[in-house]
Chain A
Amino acid sequence: MPTLRLPQSAEPLLPFCLRSEDAAENACFETYADLFAFAAACGFARLHGRQPQEPEKFLASPSPIDIAVFKNQGLFHNLLLIGLGSERKADIARDEDRLCRLVEAFADVGCKYLAHELQSWTPARFHLELGRILIAAAEENVKVAI
């Protein structure tokens, strides 16, 4: 069963995961899988779906997440959407490993962006800023749809 590894760039974001030992007061993500999916989606948006570079380093802890976890948490179709949106072919749906590597690469882009932004926001405002960029993303899409 393929696994998804959290890229090294996710390290500063771990406290915003409730599972983390030193979770922040404004931790947003229930599980590391949630954080991963969010970061991957963010990375996808940052690159407008263009193919990212594969990350070089991954975190040893938390350990890689089995793809079944994503499937069980109803996150798999998000990953599929990322894969299909990026590859624009159905082939990615036939190769879970490739899908996993692709999504890891997007997660790395997303984590890098969020970690970088975190430096300019104060940690206490992290959830607010994420909310702000989510709204912006939703509105952006509305504009596109119009």
Chain B
Amino acid sequence: MIIKELRLGNFLVFPGEQALELPTDGESNLVVILAPNNTGKTNIIRALKFLFYGHLPDCNEVTAYRLIHDGVREAAHVGTEVSGWVEATLELDDEELTLRRTVKARKMGKDQWMAAEITFGKLVREPKLRLFLDSDGVYQTKIRTMVPEQLFDAFYFKGEPLDGKLLGGVGAIRDSLASFLHEDRWEEVERAAEQVRQRYTSELRRLADKNQVYTRLLNDEELFRGHVVKEEAKLEKKKEDLEDAIAKFNELTGRLQDLGRGNEAEKWVVQLRDLRSRQETARRTSEKADAEIARLVGSSRGIPFLLSAMPAARKILAALQEENILPADVSERFVDRVLAAPTCVCGRSHDDQTRLAWNRYKAKTLSLDMNRGLSDLLNALQDSNSHSFSRVSAEVARKIQDAQARRKQALLDLANCDAPIQDLEKKLKASPLEEIRVITQKLRETGNLRDRLKGEVAQLENSIRGMRQNLNNIKCQLEKARPAGAAAVKERRLQQARARAEKLRLLIHESREALTRTFHELLQQSVTEYYDQSAYDGSKARINRATLLPSIESNGQIHGNLGGGQSQLLALAYIVSLSRLRKSLHTQMQELGIGFGRVDDQSFFLDSPFNHVTEHYAQAIARFLAGNARQVIVLVARQQWTLVRTMLEPAARKLLGFKYHTLKEKLKELRAKDPKLEDFVYDVNGCKVSLIEELPKSEAGPFTTIIPIH
């Protein structure tokens, strides 16, 4: 249903008579209404709903007077009647139809009103304005056919995310689908064909009343047929499940192949392994260096600390050597032995002088241990000696330095590996490897399901084949047991009629199945086309075969709501696809002569479809709206305009604005929060457009006017 013009008369926030003229001549007629928050965006949707169905969720006959503009109600005198109305000129084929719904109420006192009177009818402007009330409900039916009430919230939605309405199997949409696929009628005619068949069967039973064999065979035939029908229904369901499983299996296989192609993850695994091995080597080297340093410290015996003592010690030891005390060629015990002997070592007798000399010498001699100790020290103090303290000290220092350098390098290697290891681990975590693992698991499960279903289908087919064989046998036996004589002719006729009824039932059943299947395929194709390209995360739109409702599939998982905008885009793609298919289906049915009423192109009024949506999806939605439906009217709040301006501005056939007129005090209050009133200023084609104004002195309360912008 395409709307050429929407007019509002003293309705809600719109005083006087205001019109929204909407272009309809292009293939895609996008109208953008710049509507700051709280200026009446939702009022437009409410007005449409009121026009279409005559009621609103929060409004009954008693409270309907509130739909009349506040200013008009305020100004009305007690006892007078005031009214408000919504009118739309619809494009139907080449003709136009203007429908108006009016709410009229009488003022009984301050804020006291009589129950409102609501009227609906066709409006003719030429040659003079005339309203033809829809007393027989023709126009109301027309409206309901074009926009079933269950679908209204999808086609004309206000603010809240759409996915809540569509995803998750909400009944209203499903009911609406069932209604416009006329599922009830299909069921009804199939049931009717079956009843006809059963009537013929009853007649056959009556005809062969006394022919017990024939009656028994007829009963057996019915019994087997009943089984066959049941098993066939089961088989159909199983085949559908199998088809789904095969499709899913193929898709998962494809995804797996995609992931395998050009996959860097394996390279990363090798790099990670190398880095971890390098890290392990570095750790071992550092530990080894630590152990070596500890060992060197211990074995140094603190010699480097003693180097300063060496010159003094050398001096003392040299003196001892000078005095022939060191090395201990002559020990204290030797001197004692010499003195105890009658003669000296030279053979002369001891005299006092010799004894004195020997005793003096004895006083200087050292114990054997001390002698050995000092001799060792003497050796250690000789730099030429390979084990000299100075050499040992230098050696220890050098070796410790070497070990320190090795340790430092190892620690550096260890630290250098940390960042790349973390990086690779992160990459691998985010890499397809995890996805591959999940998909492989799903593939296995789907493969098992597919194989199981294949087995069940084969089993059912066998069982049906067997039953059909039995049915044929029974039919042959029936043929032989047919009544003779005049009854035979009637029996033949009844059998033929019964076969025709069965054929008709089958035809209806198959057509219904084919319709649903085709509808599913077309819906899937259309939604895929709209959604899949815009979803940057690789998610895909899926239409459930049984419920025909949309969902998002990501990594083989069905998601109710991904958030961020995917669901909103999917929901929009779905409702646009749905409206197109409705039109196409109804056209085809009309061509077939099965008229269920006419359905035209659909117009969409979308109030803030960019709310709660990321920038990417806001733009994807804007792009989608700009080229995929014949008539789209988008109401955009100031905050979202910045996100989608570049997409919507060039695509819009018409730009309108809701200008808010408010009290001076309110304006002051708004300025306190937002000094430049930026929430009301839109950037359009490089110019600033302000959509707020102080109330004219003649007006008592705030209101909104619809103004053209370009």
A, B from the same assembly: yes
B308 touching A144 by the CB < 8 A rule? yes
Cross-interface CB contact of A135 among B301, B312, B381, B400, cutoff 8 Å: B400
Which of A3-11, A34-42, A54-62 is near enough to bind chain B? A34-42
Contact yes or no, B397 A134, CB < 8 A:
yes
Q: How far is the CA of A28 from the CA of B298 in the complex (A)?
A: 5
What are the residues of chain B within 8 A of A89 when measuring CB–CB? 316
Q: With the chains together, A71 CA to B370 CA distance in Å?
A: 10
Asked whether B393 lies within 8 Å of A76 as measured between CB atoms, the reply is no
Asked whether, in the complex, the Cβ of B294 is within 8 Å of the Cβ of A28, the reply is yes
Does B309 sit within 8 A of A, measured CB to CB? yes
Q: Is A116 an interface residue (CB 8 A)?
A: no
User: Which chain B positions have C-beta within 8 A of A138?
Assistant: 304, 307, 393-394, 396-397
- A67 to B568 CA separation, bound complex (whole angstroms): 92
The number of residues on chain B lying at the interface, defined by a beta carbon within 8 Å of a beta carbon of chain A, is: 47
From residue A79, how far is it (CB to closest CB) to chain B in Å? 8
What are the residues of chain A within 8 A of B320 when measuring CB–CB?
90
CA distance A44 to B312 in the complex (A): 14
8 Å CB contacts to A: which residues of B272-321? 290-291, 293-298, 300-310, 312-313, 316-317, 319-320
Cβ of B213: which chain A residues have Cβ within 8 Å of it? Answer: none
Q: Which of B372-380, B508-516, B588-596 contacts A (4 or more CB under 8 A)?
A: B372-380
Contact between B370 and A139, CB atoms less than 8 A apart: no
Q: B393 and A131: CB pair below 8 A?
A: no
Q: Is the CB of B309 within 8 A of A141?
A: no
Residues of A in contact, count (CB < 8 Å): 48
Which of A45, A81, A137 is most buried by chain B, counting CB atoms within 10 A of its CB? A81
B309's nearest neighbour on chain A, judged by CB, is A85
Q: Find chain B residues with CB under 8 A from A44 CB.
A: 305-306, 309
Least CB distance from B238 to A in Å reads: 69
How far is the CB of A50 from the nearest CB of chain B, in Å?
A: 11
A48 CA / B634 CA spacing, docked (Å): 93
Q: B404 in the interface, Cβ–Cβ < 8 Å?
A: yes
Task: State how many angstroms separate the Cβ of A122 from the closest Cβ of chain B.
Answer: 13
Q: Is the CB of A135 within 8 A of B309?
A: no
Given the complex of chains A and B, what is the CA–CA distance between A128 and B393 in angstroms?
Answer: 17
CA distance A4 to B304 in the complex (A): 22
- Alpha-carbon gap, A42 to B373, bound state (A): 21
CA distance A82 to B370 in the complex (A): 14
Select B293's contact among A93, A131, A140, beta carbons within 8 Å.
A131
Kindly identify, within residues 371 to 427 of chain B, every residue whose CB is under 8 Å from any CB belonging to chain A.
Answer: 372-374, 376-377, 380-381, 389-390, 393-394, 396-397, 400-401, 403-404, 407
Chain B residues proximal to chain A, CB less than 8 Å:
290-291, 293-298, 300-310, 312-313, 316-317, 319-320, 366-367, 369-370, 372-374, 376-377, 380-381, 389-390, 393-394, 396-397, 400-401, 403-404, 407
List the 5 shortest-distance A-B pairs measured between CB atoms, nearest first. A85-B309, A41-B302, A138-B397, A141-B307, A45-B305
